[in-house]
Amino acid sequence: MASFATGAKDGDQSVTSVWWAERFSALLRDLEFLPNSPMLMNAGTNIGLLSVCLALPVEN
């Protein structure tokens, strides 16, 4: 995930991408943000499933 954030390109300089990568890493490290379970369990493996689908009931 951090390598994805580092590789992200914006319209500006790479300094912005580096700042966001460091911020994202700090959020993960400090447990302020955790991605979904498939990403935590499958990132860096050959499984490749990093998303989850949730269906919430719609009440009228």
| Spatial separation of the C-alpha atoms in residues 60 and 55, rounded to whole Å | 16
List, for residues 10-47, the tens digit of each pLDDT value: 555 566 888 888 998 999 999 999 998 888 898 889 98
For the chain, the domain total comes to 1
Would you call 36 helix, strand, or coil by DSSP? coil
Given this model, what pLDDT does residue 9 score? 53
Long-range contact pairs involving 31-39 (C-beta distance under 8 Å, separation at least 24): 35/1, 39/1
Q: Which pTM was predicted?
A: 0.53
Long-range contact pairs involving 17-26 (C-beta distance under 8 Å, separation at least 24): none
Given this model, what pLDDT does residue 5 score? 52
Token pair listed for 4:
């994805």
The residue type of 37 is: S
Domain that includes residue 59, residue range: 1-60
Per the rule left: phi > 0, alpha: psi between -120 and 50, beta: everything else, 44 is left
